[in-house]
Chains A and B, each alone.
Chain A
Amino acid sequence: MRRTNWLLRRACAGLLVSALGFFAHRAPAAVSGEVVIGVIQALSGPNAQQGINAQRGTELAAEAINERGGVRALGGAKIRLITSDVPTPNTAAEVTQRLISQNNVSAMIGTVNSATTLAASEVTERGGIPLVTFAFADQITERGYKYIFAVSPKGSTFGEAQLNYTIAIARAAGENITKIGILYEDTAYGSAQAKGLRLAAAKTGVQIVMDEAYPQGITDVTPLVNKLRASGAQIAFPVSYLNDSLLIIRSMRQQQLNTPVVGGAAGYVLPDFRKGLGDLAEGILSVAAANSDLMPDFAAKYEAKYGTFITHDSLMHAAALDSVVQAIERAKSSDPEKVRDALATLDYCGGFAKGVPGGCVKFDATGRNASAFPVMVQWHGDRPVTVYPPQAAKQKAIWRGKPTS
């Protein structure tokens, strides 16, 4: 027993010393001739699919930028990405802090998840590092923060588009929409979009006969489907991540509820959506921030490398990275302060910004990309195609099985 104790004491001390020794080790300062950009994404956990897509888009864009000459204003400096996994919002602050303290980043990019972005941005704001994100939630750009930029429209804008575009498509097919049901996951993303849906419904006089929030990790959606059926809604507008989107569609089909579904991006536009549902996915509409058919060359490159079609996560993050690079070019410096100032006045319509509907990245005073607008996509075959609005549409929408005029 005493010998065990002696051994254990040494073991404890040893472990502690090595842990402390780890801290004494500092990451090397940035090599001149390169620009370090931090990336935070959920690479594990429930949102991993989207995080990985975003990560890939960012990397591919970085490769492309480096190939065409890197950052010219800094003598062709190459972009180096340092990525950290943030599976849940409550690890975000810590991970971001660690990334910033141990590396000389000029800017940060990420995440796809609104709640995680909110948490991470608290750190970047205090640390004076600009963060460019794709996450939707309105709150992200409504806090008066100076170091946060979002390349996509607000969540409520997506919500409004989700309803307004649907009304337009239905009208073209001769149907009038009067009663709708909305069901949404209850974190920042779902709530923001639900708000938008309500706004649009109020403006167009559409009645919301079902309005239900559900917990993000829900495993049994039967009560939701029952409520939907009982409400008599003509169309269902769910706002979900991947897992819940699969559950909802399957459950509806299983309970033989054939109400048309217009999804709220996130889960509804992922390759795994189609993999999980097979033919059930056909014809499902969803609002989205961007789509593969808006940037066919890049999309083809992505698909060749990764085997699945490119999602809006990847496209928008490529645009985010490109904006940061452009900001560095214009500021002629990789200092975070100067990069931030350059981002605030950016008006960029080239490179990967072309993948954003509207073709440009131009941040307004709150940090939102004011020139971007949502698109409506529909599943045809193994991928979504853009069907609305007309200036971005590649194909006509199919409503209740019939092509619209």
Chain B
Amino acid sequence: MRPAITPAFVLFVLFVVAASLLPLGFDPRGHVLRVAAMALLFAATAQAWNIVGGLANRISLGHAGFFGIGAYSSTLLYLRLGVSPWIGLLAGAALAAIAAALLSLPTVRLQGHYFALATLAFAQVLQVIANSWPGLTGGPLGLSIPFAGSQPLKFSFRTVSSYYWIILALLVVSCAVFHLLATGAIGYRLRAVRENEQAAEAAGVDTARVKLIASVVSAALTAACGTVFAQFTYYFDPDSIFSLPGISVRMAMIVIVGGLGTLGGPIVGALFLIPLEEASNAVLSSKAAGLSQFAFATILMAAILIQPRGMMALWPKRWSAGAKLTVERTSR
């Protein structure tokens, strides 16, 4: 299925090319590259969330659960059994897919706020389990990825630029998956479900199945991002990897601010928010505790109040690829 050569596609390719050249201009061990890599990683994660949150319009506040499953799977396999994190990545994705399928059972009929609450509880359950099972997960102490120097087969590199390119590749994969789903049969059916679930059912769409597929794919992709995150940041604990504000909300916020349901939304959102947060932290966090987060939250609220559809809506429609959507609430 060849993607059409739309202006949006050209833009995307240009972006990828430009992004891959970035490390050449900056210190390969440096901080700037780290921030850029982190931004791209969160863009990839946000894109995965976008599948459920954007295409299916089901706001999940528990995606950190899948993120954490990815991180824990690969890390535990590596620490306990010496399995390369590359394989661990696949294992984590598979586990997360299973978890998503299981989670779908009680949540497939839930809408809107209820769904958000259920997914939130899901992530919290995993957090509690991770915290209270030290034998398996190391408990609240968290896990450290031992420093192995430069061993590409074990997903260990000396320079940030190596991680950066892997993350960029992950982002491309994430966007490709999103695009395929969005423009394919699944996306078509999801749009129907989004607009009017009952009508879709009546028209013969297996709503449960398409929601399940979206959920499973999203979970697997998110878990892969979790693995890469763990390898990149060398240390995580249950409270940080399953975090509601730090992971779940952040990935959703990136998509919302960037443009829910659009291909470019997560990228634009991440490139805007992460450097902004970083600069804000660097400048403000030493002045007064809480100031940078406060400023950040205020910006988020302002963004939503001014333009509930996100930044992508600021640009003319022809620039945005993929399905655009927001379901307006017409009645309670």
Contact = CB atoms under 8 A, between A and B. Distances in A.
Interface string A93-115: 11001100110000000000001
Interface residues of B, number: 45
A84 B286 contact: yes
B147 A122 contact: yes
B323 interface: no
Contact of A89 (B30, B32, B146, B237): B237
A118 to B, nearest CB: 6
A20 B35 CA distance: 11
Interface in A181-196: 186-188, 191
At the interface, is chain B mostly helix, strand, loop or mixed? Answer: helix
Contacts, number: 114
Given A16-B275, A90-B246, A101-B31, A45 B141 contact: no
B142 A23 contact: no
A123 interface: yes
B283 interface: yes
Given A101-B30, A102-B31, A143-B144, A19 B289 contact: no
A220 interface: no
B233 A93 contact: yes
At the interface, is chain A mostly helix, strand, loop or mixed? Answer: helix
Interface string B214-244: 0000000000000000000111110110010
B35 A23 contact: yes
Is the interface on chain A under 10, 10 to 19, 20 to 34, or 35 or more residues?
Answer: 35 or more
A204 interface: no
Contact of A23 (B32, B145, B281, B306): B32
A338 B247 CA distance: 39
Interface stretch (B67-75, B112-120, B307-315): B307-315
Interface in B2-31: 29-31
Contact of B306 (A8, A85, A89, A186): A8
B140 interface: yes
Nearest to B158: A126
Given A90-B237, A118-B235, A123-B234, A143 B275 contact: no
A19 B278 contact: yes
Contact of B139 (A15, A23, A143, A191): A191
5 contacts: A5-B313, A18-B279, A98-B31, A139-B141, A145-B147
Interface of A: 4-5, 8-9, 12, 15-16, 18-20, 22-23, 43-45, 48, 83-85, 87-90, 92-94, 97-98, 101-102, 115, 118-119, 122-123, 125-126, 137, 139, 143, 145, 186-188, 191, 213, 215-216
